[in-house]
């Protein structure tokens, strides 16, 4: 029996708790929350709730972090790693900001469910079949780089998802974060800062076009397509041994040389349980940000920012959005995940990358973790 502790009581955390509780080989022993427990009578496992990180970690064998908060989540993971507990995250934003710091210190893996974990699982599958991945693709149905507050409030209430999360989904920050994690975790690059993000009516055709870019660059790429009619899933476009060309044609995979393998869903908290079981049975890391990342997610102003402005939280704000960038050449950029209670000290034009010269950030473990990561990030000569 593996004792599971979950950090987070939001939409994802609650769903994971329900699934863990259904598994005979798992036991939900603690759920860490910052909310007032006396006001959480509608939570399905009130007896497991705690506000104490120390108590939380002491009573579990594995930590599942899904708080949606990079600063707080990093503090929780730090204590878990120090206690020798493996960590499963459903927090790509945390992974690309502080995940590399923790990957050097203990066991941390992203879970299946969100697109990065689903792509990592699909990667294992296609490689086992002999394919050579060229494109790790995410499928996004809609994007608006500068959405308006009223629209985001409407969709937030309609879908029961936090306003900041809804905004980060819409302005592209979330998918940029996801594909940065995929690049770092699966040894891919990016074709350009901000990604290519082509519009697509045919995933197979667009996958082949992206594969040509990867061939030209000489390495696999991580990217996404905007496809309003596409499924909410992921895809990998790959090559295969030419000796299987006729067989793959017979299997309805097309004429080659590029083949697109599509997973037409991602089911978030319902899939996390697979990674929890993987880790509980001694399986290795599915995906993390790697010890030496090459891609980060920079903060880009949606409008000109003035000295004295405060950014309460960059991810999901109406002041900035995130873009995947190569760390080499952008060493002074501020990862959007660190923009929490940040003071703007210089004017920054719309569309420019915010640098550490432009802001004052509160001290935090997350800030320290990034500083260590950037000091050891590989530099391309």
Across the beta sheet with 310-313, the strand order is 310-313, 340-344, 359-360
Is residue 376 very low, low, confident or very high in pLDDT (cuts 50, 70, 90)? low
- Average confidence (pLDDT) over 284-297: 97
Number of domains in the chain: 3
Kindly state whether residues 247 and 131 are assigned to the same domain.
yes
Helix (H, G, I), strand (E, B) or coil at 334: coil
- The predicted pLDDT at position 95 comes to 98
Peptide bond preceding 299: is omega within 30 degrees of 0, i.e. cis? no
Average pLDDT of span 91-96: 98
Q: Decide if pLDDT at 380 tops 70.
A: no
Is residue 211 within 8 Å of 261, Cβ to Cβ? no
> CA-CA distance, 361 to 297, in Å (whole number)?
17
- The whole-angstrom distance between residue 212's C-alpha and the CA centroid of its chain comes to 26
Please state the pTM of the whole predicted model: 0.96
Q: Determine the Cα–Cα distance for residues 188 and 285; give it in Å rounded to an integer.
A: 17
Whether residue 257 lies inside any domain: the answer is yes
Instruction: Give the confidence band of 381 by pLDDT, cuts at 50, 70, 90.
Output: very low
Looking at 248, 280, 312, the residue that finishes a domain is 280
Question: pLDDT tier at 290 (50, 70, 90 boundaries)?
Answer: very high
Report the DSSP beta bridge partners of residue 222.
Answer: 136
Q: Whole-angstrom distance between the N-terminal and C-terminal Cα of the chain?
A: 50
Provide the mean pLDDT of the chain: 96
Which of 350, 357, 354, 349 has the alpha carbon at shortest distance from 325?
Answer: 354
**Where in the sequence is the domain holding 144, given as residue range(s)?**
115-263
Contacts of 341 (CB under 8 A, 6+ apart): 310, 311, 312, 361, 362
pLDDT digits (tens, 9 = 90+) for 298-353: 999 999 999 999 999 999 999 999 999 999 999 999 999 999 999 999 999 999 99
Say if strands 340-344 and 310-313 run parallel, antiparallel, or are unpaired. antiparallel
Per-residue pLDDT at 70 exceeds 50 = yes
CA 88 to chain centre: 12
> Does 249 fall in a domain?
yes
Question: How much of the chain, in percent, has pLDDT values that exceed 70?
Answer: 98
Helices (H), the chain: 11-22, 53-58, 70-82, 92-94, 100-103, 115-128, 149-159, 163-170, 173-186, 203-217, 245-250, 269-280, 365-375
- Tell whether the model's pLDDT for residue 14 goes beyond 70: yes
In terms of domains, do 127 and 255 share one? yes
380 lies in a domain? no
The model's pLDDT over 234-289, given as tens digits with 9 standing for 90+, comes to 999 999 999 999 999 999 999 999 999 999 999 999 999 999 999 999 999 999 99
Residue at 101 is within a domain: yes
Q: State the Cα–Cα distance between residues 142 and 27, nearest whole angstrom.
A: 39
**Domain-embedded: residue 233:** yes
- Identify the helix (H) or strand (E) that includes residue 245: helix 245-250
DSSP at 141: S
């Amino acid at each position: 029996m593996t004792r599971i502790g979950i950090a987070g009581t939001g939409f994802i955390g609650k769903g994971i708790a329900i699934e863990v509780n259904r598994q005979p080989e798992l036991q939900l022993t603690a759920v860490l929350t910052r909310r007032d427990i006396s006001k959480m009578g509608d939570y399905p496992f009130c007896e497991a709730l705690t506000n104490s990180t120390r108590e939380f970690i002491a009573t579990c064998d594995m930590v599942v972090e899904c708080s949606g908060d990079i600063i707080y989540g990093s503090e929780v993971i730090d204590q878990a790693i120090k206690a020798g507990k493996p960590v499963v995250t459903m927090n790509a934003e945390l992974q690309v900001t502080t995940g590399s710091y923790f990957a050097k210190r203990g066991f941390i893996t992203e879970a299946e469910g969100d697109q990065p974990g689903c792509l990592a699982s699909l990667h294992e599958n296609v490689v086992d079949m002999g394919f050579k991945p060229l494109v790790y693709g995410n499928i996004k149905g809609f994007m608006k780089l500068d959405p308006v507050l009223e629209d985001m409030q409407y969709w937030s209430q309609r879908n029961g998802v936090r306003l900041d999360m809804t905004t980060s989904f819409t302005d592209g920050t979330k998918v940029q974060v996801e594909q940065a994690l995929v690049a770092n975790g699966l040894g891919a690059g990016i074709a350009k800062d901000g990604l290519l993000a082509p519009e697509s009516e045919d995933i197979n055709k667009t996958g082949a076009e992206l594969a040509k870019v990867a061939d030209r660059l000489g390495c696999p790429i991580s990217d996404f397509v905007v496809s309003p009619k596409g499924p909410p899933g992921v895809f990998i476009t790959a090559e295969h041994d030419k000796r299987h060309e006729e067989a793959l044609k017979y299997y309805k995979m097309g004429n080659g040389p590029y083949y697109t393998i599509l997973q037409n869903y991602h089911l978030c908290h319902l899939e996390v349980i697979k990674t929890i079981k993987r880790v509980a049975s001694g399986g290795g890391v599915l995906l993390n940000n790697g010890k030496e990342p090459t891609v980060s997610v920079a903060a880009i102003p949606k409008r000109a920012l003035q000295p004295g402005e405060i950014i309460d939280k960059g991810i999901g704000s109406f002041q900035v959005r995130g873009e995947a960038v190569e760390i080499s050449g952008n060493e002074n950029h501020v990862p959007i995940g660190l923009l929490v209670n940040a003071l703007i000290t210089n004017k920054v034009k719309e569309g420019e990358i915010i640098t550490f010269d432009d802001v004052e950030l509160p001290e935090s473990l997350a800030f320290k973790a990034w500083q260590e990561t950037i000091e050891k990030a590989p530099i391309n000569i």
